Amino acid sequence: MSKTKVAIIGSGNIGTDLMIKVMRTSENLEMGAMVGIDPESDGLARARRFGFQTTHEGVDGLIALPGFDQIGIVFDATSAKAHQANAAKLQPLGKRLIDLTPAAIGPYVIPAVNIEGHLDAPNVNMVTCGGQATIPIVAAISRVVPVAYAEIVASIASRSAGPGTRANIDEFTETTSKAIVEVGGARRGKAIIVLNPAEPPLIMRDTVFTLVDSAGPATHDEIRRSVEKMVADVAAYVPGYRLKQKVQITEIPADQPVETLLATNGERPTHQVSVFLEVEGAAHYLPAYAGNLDIMTSAALQMAEQIAAQEATK
């Protein structure tokens, strides 16, 4: 079976890690081109050594490359603002876009949750690293009981947060919060990112707090099973994804104020569900502590693999 050729826009850490994942692990994809704006970037240099086409002239240089017509999928690992310009040029040319920025032009996709519904979308958004790590857990809880409020805290090593991440902090929180509701199923959502300066750098940690109306022990057991199954589903394409401890479900005291967290006219929830996660990177290109970047490239790769597999059957 012939493989789908891909191009990667963004020759930084994320784009380079994605290139190596395509080379080493992909069943349905092959590298077509690496695109950047810095001719001296390590990503472009590596791509040239591997024998791939490269350009340091951005998306315009990609369009001008010989063989551009053969590229079926384009990953964009630049920034939210740059993706808007890139999408405007590439979508009219019929290219399928997988957006690793918080631009959110296309629908949000979390592979373990809603990939099947968006395989035909021309442009899909992979939310954020925190979203990829935590929204599956919110979805796992919401498929058992209604989630009145969900709050996620993504703690990543400061050293793994490059210029793109730092420039898009506001977009990170806004995009993740929206996806907690739209994909995770919570009625309200909030996202927080922490850049941890500890040395040596710490592996990505994520915390998910949800407020739910949970009837009793049998429902609590069902929530725990649903979360554990979801963790296994995500770990199928992100091997370093795991629970740090058992799911905690505690009753909300009657005198604990939670009303400010709830939607207007929302019923008072009865329990808090707390889930603590760790994401260790596969270290294909990035260090193992950079699980925040690894989960993004792994999710994007999973999306592209499924698109290519579907196209091959048509």
Residues 86 and 166 in one domain: no
CATH code, domain carrying 270: 3.30.360.10
Q: What pairing do the DSSP bridges indicate for beta strands 204-212 and 147-157?
A: antiparallel
Q: Cβ–Cβ contacts within 10 Å for residue 87, how many?
A: 21
pTM of the model: 0.95
Residue range of the domain that includes 268: 129-289
92 lies in the same domain as 113: yes
SS3 state at 193: strand
DSSP-derived secondary structure letter, 96:
E
Distance, in Å, from the CA atom of 152 to the CA atom of 125, rounded to the nearest integer, reads 19
**Residues known to be catalytic:** 129
Contact predicate 110/179, CB 8 Å: yes
Are 56 and 144 members of one domain? no
Q: What is the pLDDT along the chain (314 residues), one digit of tens a residue?
A: 689 999 999 999 999 999 999 999 999 999 999 999 999 999 999 999 999 999 999 999 999 999 999 999 999 999 889 999 999 999 999 999 999 998 899 999 999 999 999 999 999 999 999 999 999 999 999 999 999 999 999 999 999 987 778 887 888 899 999 999 999 999 999 999 999 999 999 999 999 999 999 878 999 999 999 999 999 999 999 999 999 999 999 999 999 999 999 988 778 999 999 999 999 999 999 999 999 999 999 999 999 999 999 988 87
Same domain, residue pair 146 and 275: yes
Residues 6+ apart with CB under 8 A from 222: 144
How long a stretch of residues is the chain? 314
Query: What is the CATH classification number for the domain harbouring 79?
Result: 3.40.50.720
Question: Which residues is 195 bridged to in the sheet?
Answer: 156
Q: Are residues 58 and 27 in the same domain?
A: yes
Place of tokens 């876009």: 97
Closest to 210 in 3D by CA, of 130, 155, 153: 153
- Indicate the number of domains in the chain: 2
* Residue pLDDT, tens place only, 108-126: 999 999 999 999 999 999 9
Residues 113 and 133 in one domain: no
Which candidate, 34, 27, 25, places its Cα nearest to that of 6?
34
